[in-house]
């Protein structure tokens, strides 16, 4: 019979060994699936994981997909460290994209260096306000932030659909549910001549650096960590649990909203019913892959972004359904959770009596 015994002591490198093991198991399992489908695993993995990065266009696309994952991953790593489970980053992303896109449409035709900063700020504020709803309900009524933030995601998605079918729909768009194309003044500059990689990636790197500084150098980061590990200890130390909840959800909402408006102004160029292929949910995997370290979110975000490219490459070059992307991500999350158990517990085999 198998039993789990709590380890008396763990070391920091155990967590990273668990991550490496999860990556190896994910790659091995994916290779097994490809073999069952009749493909030569090594060749197929090379075609879907390595070949997409062999061009400037591929690298640019990787950056474009990694930008929202890194931005939201930093926010969630801070929130999860504080023991505040913000599962609604996808909704905050969508609402931030909606408010930022609406601001860009309101300023349509206006030229000026200030237009883009105002649009980005509107997106961040929109996400912040959407994150404030579960924070208020958690503090005022002890509502579960997991359920509230998750349910608000679908409200935000439906609200986006209503707006692009109605008030924000392009009057010259032949009744298609989409807004007019944003003015050039509200479009993020590109980093490459090819692909969609844009300057939003630089912002994502800056956020990761700031998040690392908060965790390592600022008293707030320590307070959030203590609050997450032991709310009672945080209370006796004089740290306010309510303040931690507010800050975690407001910061998470603002960064997720920023990721949403960056997606609209950087990759899409207009408002459409769907502006995200579940980046907000996928960023949860990014945060755990990085072991909740903001700086480690950068390589984690790039790696998970590669799974999107791999899914697209698998569909185009191997004829595998695009759902392979979710398979890769699901396997990675499954093995991350499994190896995390091994970090904290020792498996013992005992004879049943």
Q: If pLDDT is split at 50, 70 and 90, which confidence band does 284 have?
A: very high
Q: Write the CATH number for 40.
A: 1.10.3470
Number of domains within the chain: 1
Residues 255-269: what's their mean pLDDT? 96
What's the domain range around 212?
Answer: 2-349
- How does DSSP assign 116-171, residue by residue? HHHHHHHHHHHHHHHHHHHHHHHHHH---HHHHHHHHHHHHHHHHHHHHHTTTS-T
Nearest CA among 283, 275, 281, 282 for reference residue 102:
275
Q: If pLDDT is split at 50, 70 and 90, which confidence band does 305 have?
A: very high
Q: Are 351 and 4 in contact (CB under 8 A)?
A: no
Q: Tell me the Ramachandran region of residue 319: left when phi exceeds 0, alpha when psi lies from -120 to 50, beta otherwise.
A: left
pLDDT of residue 262 exceeding 70, the answer is yes
| Neighbouring C-beta atoms of residue 294, cutoff 10 Å | 27
Q: If pLDDT is split at 50, 70 and 90, which confidence band does 237 have?
A: confident
Q: If pLDDT is split at 50, 70 and 90, which confidence band does 12 have?
A: low
Dihedral, CA atoms, 94, 97, 103, 104, nearest 10 degrees?
-150
Residue 157's pLDDT is what?
97
Give the integer Cα–Cα distance in Å for 350 and 347.
10
Q: If pLDDT is split at 50, 70 and 90, which confidence band does 302 have?
A: very high
Crossing angle of helices 89-106 and 56-81, rounded to 10°: 120
Residue 14's pLDDT is what?
73
Crossing angle of helices 145-165 and 241-262, rounded to 10°: 30
Q: Quote the percentage of the chain above a pLDDT of 90.
A: 60
Residue 27 burial (10 A CB sphere; 0-12, 13-18, 19+): middle
Q: If pLDDT is split at 50, 70 and 90, which confidence band does 353 have?
A: low
| 126 vs 322, higher pLDDT | 126
pLDDT digits (tens, 9 = 90+) for 174-193: 889 999 999 999 999 999 88
Sign of torsion over alpha carbons 108, 174, 275, 310: negative
Residue 147 burial (10 A CB sphere; 0-12, 13-18, 19+): middle
| 68 vs 16, higher pLDDT | 68
**Residue 4, SS3 per DSSP:** strand
Q: If pLDDT is split at 50, 70 and 90, which confidence band does 338 have?
A: confident
Q: What share of the chain is helix, strand, coil (3-state, %, to 5)?
A: 70, 5, 25
pLDDT digits (tens, 9 = 90+) for 77-126: 999 999 999 999 999 999 999 999 999 999 998 999 999 999 999 999 99
Place of tokens 């959770």: 337
- Which of 221-225, 241-245, 348-352 shows the lowest per-residue confidence on average (mean pLDDT)? 348-352
CA 235 to chain CA centroid, Å, is 30
Residue 8's pLDDT is what?
67
C-alpha separations of 82 from 2, 69, 110, 137, 222 in Å:
32, 20, 42, 18, 9
Q: If pLDDT is split at 50, 70 and 90, which confidence band does 322 have?
A: confident
Could you tell me which residues come within 8 angstroms of residue 150 by beta carbon, excluding any fewer than 6 positions away? 87, 88, 91
CA 215 to chain CA centroid, Å, is 19
pLDDT digits (tens, 9 = 90+) for 198-219: 999 999 999 999 999 999 988 8
């Amino acid at each position: 019979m198998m039993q789990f015994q709590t380890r008396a002591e763990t070391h920091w490198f155990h967590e990273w060994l668990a991550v490496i093991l999860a990556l190896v198991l994910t790659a091995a399992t994916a290779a097994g699936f490809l073999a069952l489908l009749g493909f030569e695993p090594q060749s197929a993995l090379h075609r879907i994981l390595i070949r997409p990065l062999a061009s400037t266009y591929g690298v640019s696309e990787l950056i474009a997909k990694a930008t929202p994952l890194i931005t939201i991953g930093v926010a969630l790593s801070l929130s999860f460290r504080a023991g505040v489970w913000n599962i609604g980053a996808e909704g905050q992303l969508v609402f931030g994209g909606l408010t930022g896109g609406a601001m860009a449409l309101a300023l349509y035709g206006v030229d000026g260096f200030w237009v883009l900063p105002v649009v980005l700020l509107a997106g961040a504020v929109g996400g912040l306000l959407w994150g404030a709803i579960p924070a208020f309900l958690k503090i005022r009524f002890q509502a579960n932030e997991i359920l509230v933030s998750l349910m608000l995601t679908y409200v935000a998605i439906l609200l986006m659909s209503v707006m692009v079918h109605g008030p924000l729909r392009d009057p010259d768009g032949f009744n298609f549910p989409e807004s007019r194309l944003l003015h050039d003044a509200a479009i993020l500059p590109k980093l490459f001549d090819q692909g969609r990689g844009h300057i939003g990636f630089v912002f994502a790197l800056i956020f990761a650096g700031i998040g690392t500084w908060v965790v390592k150098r600022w008293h707030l980061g320590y307070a959030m960590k203590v609050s997450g590990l032991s709310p009672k200890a945080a209370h006796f130390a004089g740290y306010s649990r309510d303040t931690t909840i507010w800050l975690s959800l407001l910061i998470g909402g603002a960064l997720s909203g920023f990721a949403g408006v960056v997606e609209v102004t950087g990759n899409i160029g207009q408002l459409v019913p769907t502006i995200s292929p579940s980046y907000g949910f996928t960023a949860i995997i990014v945060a755990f892959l990085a072991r909740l370290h903001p700086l480690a979110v950068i390589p984690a975000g790039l790696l998970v972004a590669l799974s999107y490219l791999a899914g697209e490459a698998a569909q185009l070059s191997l004829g595998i359904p695009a759902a392979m992307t979710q398979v890769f991500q699901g396997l990675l999350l499954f093995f991350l959770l499994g190896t995390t158990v091994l970090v904290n517990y020792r498996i013992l085999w005992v004879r049943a009596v």
